[in-house]
Amino acid sequence: MIRLRELERVRLRDGVLVQGLPGIGLAGKLAVDYIVRELRLQKVAEAHIDGLMVHSNVAVFVDSEAILRLPTYDFYLFQGKQRDAIFLTAPAQPVAWTQFEVAEHVLDYFQSIGGIEVVGVCGTTMGEEEGVYFAAASVETREELLKLGFKPSPGGVITGACGLVPALASLRGMKAYVLMGFVSQPELDPVAAKHLVQALCRILEMQVDTRNLDALIEEARRREREMAEALKEETKGRREEAPPFYV
């Protein structure tokens, strides 16, 4: 069962849906969460979804005030100079057998408030260098994204809601595409998230301060250096303790 509750009724101007859910490198979710936090966007709707499981199990959150909170799909409003956007984020993706139903409910709501364009943002390991890759639902959209300097995906499969929601949106006649930040590690990848934030700023004509994201990137790199140094020292110690015939 899916229960969507509008906290405020809105009407979008040439509305864009930007969906960033957990996935590889958490690139898409981190990008959307960062924009929501930095711009202090207002939540205008939330959806309770039976198939939204955290850590692969049924779970609820307990906040700092010891209050139970169900995991939800959260919709945030961005009002631009020329057009508006809804940023969608959640703590988890729906289980596989509910993905289509959830996607259709999201699109029903989005179109009811004036939505015409859908963007999925996520991470990808397909590629050769840092940056933003794309997969478009039409040749026209592909050409637009190429002109913006994004790289075409070399091919493959996009799993989960990141690809499904744009694909279903295209069947409804909406402009739809996926933006993928190149991920160099399966863990949290703030570099990929920053590339996605910058890409969305160009598309939506937003201004987002990325200094806090830069600090997160530097912290991640510092930890990588420390781990590499610790591994080097451990390996060196093992070699010194090895017998003479050890190779």
Q: What is the pLDDT of residues 77-124, one digit of tens each?
A: 999 999 999 999 999 999 999 999 999 999 999 999 999 999 999 999
* Structural domains in the chain (count): 2
- What's the CATH number where 120 sits? 3.40.50.10900
Same domain membership, residue 233 and residue 199: no
Q: Is residue 205 part of a domain?
A: yes
Residue 47's pLDDT is 96
Range 81-92 burial, b when 16+ CB lie within 10 A, else e: eebbbbbbbbbb
Q: What is the Cα–Cα distance from 71 to 68, expressed in whole angstroms?
A: 10
Arithmetic mean of pLDDT over the chain: 91
Does 235 have pLDDT greater than 90?
no
Domain that includes residue 124, residue range = 10-209
Question: DSSP state, 95?
Answer: P
Same domain membership, residue 216 and residue 205: no
Same domain membership, residue 156 and residue 46: yes
Residue 38's pLDDT is 97
Q: Is residue 190 part of a domain?
A: yes
Same domain membership, residue 182 and residue 71: yes
130-150 average pLDDT score: 96
Q: Is residue 193 part of a domain?
A: yes
Least confident of 59-63, 146-150, 175-179, 193-197: 59-63
Residue 245's pLDDT is 54
Least confident of 132-146, 165-179, 210-224, 233-247: 233-247
Q: Could you give the 3-state DSSP secondary structure of residue 177?
A: strand
Q: How far is CA 38 from the centre of its chain?
A: 16
Q: Name the token pair of 51.
A: 């198939």
Same domain membership, residue 36 and residue 120: yes
Q: What is the Cα–Cα distance from 173 to 140, expressed in whole angstroms?
A: 13
Q: Is residue 229 part of a domain?
A: yes
Strand partners, 3: 48
